[in-house]
Structure 1
Amino acid sequence: MTTDTERLKTFVGLMNSGRFDTAREMVAEDVRIEEPDAIPYGGTFTGLAGFDEFRRIFAATWRRWSDGPMWYAENEGTVVKLNVITAVSRATGQEYTTPLAEFFTFTDGKISRITIFYQDVPGFLKAIGS
């Protein structure tokens, strides 16, 4: 039996390798993505159209994004992913590194909710020139 952590690792691998259409198949039609309000693309993205919009805005903001080693914890349909990311802003060329926590909720084997927390929001804003 496949665990939600295994599903998430597959999803992250697909996203990091640019296989967005295949990753999208792992997302529920009514997915809800929540980014911190303090960032320029903050707020809630809903449904597959919201997932696509989030990907578009994210790609327009960051030239490069890389995940450091990842740590996962799973409990009752939710997987927490912790890691340190390094990204380079398209607008400024500035590199940004911060710890990141993401909470993924699974419903019927698909990702139904993603909630994202950046530890260093001021550094995020500085990197993108906001």
Structure 2
Amino acid sequence: MTMSSTAESAAVLTGMYAAEAKYLAAGGPGVASFDLLAPFFAPDVELHQADSLPYGGTWCGHKGMTQFFVMMGEVWESFDMVEQEFLATGETAVVLTQVRARARATGRELSFPILQAITIKDGRITEVRPFYWDTKAIAEACASPASTD
């Protein structure tokens, strides 16, 4: 196992976020292929989302990442990363992203920050841990309106 250099980590992150933007612009899950993103993630990657989110839990491997993006596509009508700052790079990278998103179920628009701790080994992302400012607000914006039968 080799440690990732700062330059290598920055290149992996820049490439992955560009591929993610291309993936989302192409229509995301069901339209675009996860193959755009796969080269940036280790086969055994783990993504840990807050349990209180509609797409919460731990997503493992390329199959899990594919399922995660399908779930994100079901939850969000749009999910734009409008501003990013790489606060640290190396084997552990920290990325601050400002997101503007519209929930599919309610049509509500939100703007919120996500701070991600990302582990990079051997030129691939092995773990992602996003931290949201307010998971309750996100969950509420994404909740289906109550039925009024």
| TM-score, normalised by the number of residues in structure 1 | 0.92
Describe how 1:10-25 pairs up with structure 2 within 5 A.
10-18=15-23, 20-25=34-39
SS at match of 2:78: strand
Report whether the alignment pairs 1:34 with 2:39: no
Q: Aligned-pair distance for 1:52?
A: 0.7
Note if contact 2:54-2:75 (Cα within 8 Å) is conserved in structure 1.
no
Report whether the alignment pairs 1:111 with 2:125: yes
Q: Aligned-pair distance for 1:63?
A: 0.7
CA distance in 1, matches of 2:113, 2:88: 19
**CA deviations over 1:7-59 (Å, ceiling 9, x no partner):** 10110111011164221111100000000011121110111111111111011
CA distance in 1, matches of 2:22, 2:48: 22
Note if contact 2:83-2:97 (Cα within 8 Å) is conserved in structure 1.
yes
Describe how 1:62-101 pairs up with structure 2 within 5 A.
62-101=76-115
Instruction: Name the counterpart of 2:147.
Output: none
Instruction: Name the counterpart of 1:3.
Output: 8
Return 5+ residue gaps in structure 1 as ranges. none
Q: Aligned-pair distance for 1:75?
A: 4.6
Note if contact 1:88-1:96 (Cα within 8 Å) is conserved in structure 2.
yes
Q: Aligned-pair distance for 1:120?
A: 1.5
**CA deviations over 1:50-109 (Å, ceiling 9, x no partner):** 111111101111110111221113354011110210110111111011111111111110
Q: Aligned-pair distance for 1:6?
A: 1.9
RMSD of Structure 2 on Structure 1 (CA): 1.6
AA aligned opposite 1:113: E
CA distance in 2, matches of 1:76, 1:95: 34
Question: Considering only CA atoms, is the larger Rg found in Structure 1 or Structure 2?
Answer: 2
Instruction: State the percentage of identical aligned residues.
Output: 27
Could you list the structure 1 runs, at least 4 aligned residues long, displaced by more than 6 angstroms after superposition: none
CA distance in 2, matches of 1:47, 1:7: 17
